Amino acid sequence: MKFFFFLVILNFSLLNSAEIDPLKKKLGNLKRQTVSIHNDILNNNKELKKIKIDIERNSQKQLILKKRIKSGENVGRRLMFLLQEKIYLSPVTKIINNLFFQSEDFITKQIVREFFLKKVRLGINEYILSFKTIAELNIDLDEKLIIYKKKKKSLSVKLNTLEKKIKQVAQLQKKVKVDVNLRVKEKRYKKKAKNLNELVQGVKRKKVIKRKKNVSKVKLPVQGKIVSNYGEGKDIRKSKNGVVFKVFEESFVTSPINGMVVYANQFRSYGNLIIIENEEGYYCILSGMKKIIISSGNEVFMGEPIAKISAENNSQLYFELRLNGKIINPKSKVEIL
């Protein structure tokens, strides 16, 4: 009887594992897709910025050339000077003038005339070349604008696809079993912890962390301007223990490492805060996000979208990295892409 009961329990557990494993596999595939799509979006953004810079340079070149063409009036004046010399001085007049005027004057006039003639030649060449260059720049500008519009459209499509994939991940994530203890600790230490250190110590998993060589790289959570580097923080909004980013458009915040989310909630003056840990002893701390799209107990991949940040004036993302309990400079571990 006991043996029969054992077989029933074993079969039930096998059925459950068979049911969960495909879900985890599907979830993992979806998450990898979000990472891939988001990487495409980042590359697309880089290309858009490059094209935009090229368009601005093109416009500046055209502006310079148009000013040069406008200054072509000086060429006309020099040309008129030469023509007047030829029209108003007949051959006889020139001979008389050469007899009565000093030779130095004659030589001086010749030098001046040659100087103006040289300037006129150069001016005419530049004038014609400017028109030709502007025409070429216009063709180049038209081509770049077409590419820019295509990239913009492609970006919009990819963003929509990413949003859909993220929703699918969220729906599937609800069906996958997570460590309930993490959420219990999150709730408890959200109220109990007096500072960030107490929070990190409180929510971390009790299991022993494997001591590896810490060869894993870390990916920056956003592409934006660094307004405060590690060790530079001087005011309330900039902590010296991490790196502070400012973005120029609403962006996704991605996980800097592969790991487990042990905290994803609000915490005191930090606002929305996420803590991710992994088995190599890394702890990533992120705060300042507009919206969190992940929850504690979820496994995340490096580069997976986990939050959103606004481009508003006061919005800044704080990124802190700890290794085996010690705060380190995040940029020292950043993956060079």
- pLDDT, tens digit, 9 for 90 and up, residues 233-257: 665 555 789 999 999 889 999 999 9
% of the chain beyond a pLDDT of 70? 71
| Structure-derived torsion over alpha carbons of residues 320, 325, 328, 331, reported in degrees to the nearest 10 | -60
- Residue 215's pLDDT is 57
Q: Are 259 and 301 within 8 A, CB to CB?
A: no
Instruction: Give the pLDDT mean for 67-82.
Output: 62
Instruction: Give the pLDDT mean for 277-288.
Output: 93
Calpha distance 265→288 (Å, rounded): 11
SS3 assignment, position 308: strand
- Residue 283's pLDDT is 95
238: tokens are: 């900039």
Pick from 93-107, 267-281, 316-330: least confident: 93-107
Q: In terms of pTM, does the model score above 0.85? A: no
How confident is the prediction for the chain on average, in pLDDT? 80
| Residue 90 pLDDT grade (very low, low, confident, very high; cuts 50, 70, 90) | low
Whether the predicted pLDDT of 111 surpasses 60: yes
Its CATH architecture, for the domain 180-332, is: Distorted Sandwich (2.70)
**Closest C-alpha to 189, from 278, 265, 293, 260:** 265
Calpha distance 122→36 (Å, rounded): 55
313: tokens are: 């004036």
Pick from 1-15, 78-92, 191-205: least confident: 1-15
Q: Which segment, 20-24, 79-83, 102-106, is predicted with the most confidence on average? A: 20-24
User: How far is CA 322 from each of CA 191, 241, 295, rounded to the nearest angstrom?
Assistant: 23, 10, 20
- Residue 13's pLDDT is 47
Residue 207 exposed, middle or buried by CB count within 10 Å (0-12, 13-18, 19+):
exposed
Domain with CATH 1.10.287 in the chain: 2-173
- Residue 67's pLDDT is 78
266: tokens are: 């609000």
pLDDT tens, position by position, 114-131:
665 666 666 666 667 777
DSSP string, 58-127: HHHHHHHHHHHHHTTHHHHHHHHHHHHHHHHS-HHHHHHHHHHS-HHHHHHHHHHHHHHHHHHHHHHHHH
Calpha distance 20→33 (Å, rounded): 20
Domain with CATH 2.70.70.10 in the chain: 180-332
Instruction: Give the pLDDT mean for 180-189.
Output: 92
| Residue 136 pLDDT grade (very low, low, confident, very high; cuts 50, 70, 90) | confident
Pick from 10-14, 95-99, 150-154, 294-298: least confident: 10-14
**Closest C-alpha to 272, from 253, 250, 256:** 253
Pick from 25-39, 197-211, 309-323: least confident: 197-211
Q: If residue 140 lies in a helix (H) or strand (E), which one and from where to where?
A: helix 103-173
Whether the predicted pLDDT of 150 surpasses 70: yes
Instruction: Give the pLDDT mean for 314-336.
Output: 86
| Residue 6 pLDDT grade (very low, low, confident, very high; cuts 50, 70, 90) | very low
- Residue 162's pLDDT is 95
* CATH number for the domain formed by residue range(s) 2-173: 1.10.287
85: tokens are: 């010399």
Sheet containing 305-309: which strands, arranged edge to edge?
251-254, 305-309, 291-292
Query: For residue 58, which phi and psi values (nearest 5 degrees)?
Result: -60, -45
| Residue 2 pLDDT grade (very low, low, confident, very high; cuts 50, 70, 90) | very low
Whether the predicted pLDDT of 337 surpasses 80: no
- Residue 4's pLDDT is 44
